[in-house]
Amino acid sequence: MIGGVEAGADVTWSTKDGDTALEIGRLPSGVSRGAALMVDGGLAAPGHLRTAEHDGPVLWLSSDGKRWRWVPVPSNGGDDLLSVHTAGDDLLVVFSGATAEQAWLVKDVATVLTSTAPEN
């Protein structure tokens, strides 16, 4: 898997040989998703939305890496750095802003991945 930006959109490509890449996902304008972290039960990634529905940092969750859902992160800041880290069976979400440092612990992330609303 390779992630990058093409024509202003976050894009994911897949490669089997390291030479040829096939685009497998493109996010709409105003939507970004950072590098995914393997967690118990799936994947988690930091991100940001700038849409009518939400404007700010989000936590992306996926049980299979194909279908993702986002959860707003209640930060006291704007477009600063959001990161995700494993902590045993839990997930640590850290927001590093110019005016605030905040962290949240998502207990038993595997249960969260299987018990939240259906994925899009």
Residues 98-120 pLDDT 10s: 777 889 999 988 888 887 544 44
Residue matched to tokens 């709409």: 28
Helix (H, G, I), strand (E, B) or coil at 112: helix
Indicate whether 81 belongs to any domain. yes
pLDDT band per the 50, 70, 90 thresholds, residue 74: confident
Helix (H, G, I), strand (E, B) or coil at 8: coil
Least confident span in 1-10, 19-28, 46-55 = 1-10
Indicate whether 109 belongs to any domain. yes
Residue 90 has pLDDT above 90, yes or no: yes
Parent domain of 102: 29-115
Indicate whether 12 belongs to any domain. no
User: How many structural domains is the chain composed of?
Assistant: 1
- How far apart CA 85 and CA 98 sit, in angstroms, is 20
- How far apart CA 65 and CA 43 sit, in angstroms, is 6
Helix ranges (H only) for 10-102 are none
- How far apart CA 77 and CA 88 sit, in angstroms, is 28
Indicate whether 21 belongs to any domain. no
- How far apart CA 43 and CA 73 sit, in angstroms, is 17
Q: How high is the pLDDT of residue 76?
A: 64
Percent of the chain with pLDDT over 70: 91
Q: How high is the pLDDT of residue 29?
A: 84
Indicate whether 1 belongs to any domain. no
Q: How high is the pLDDT of residue 118?
A: 47
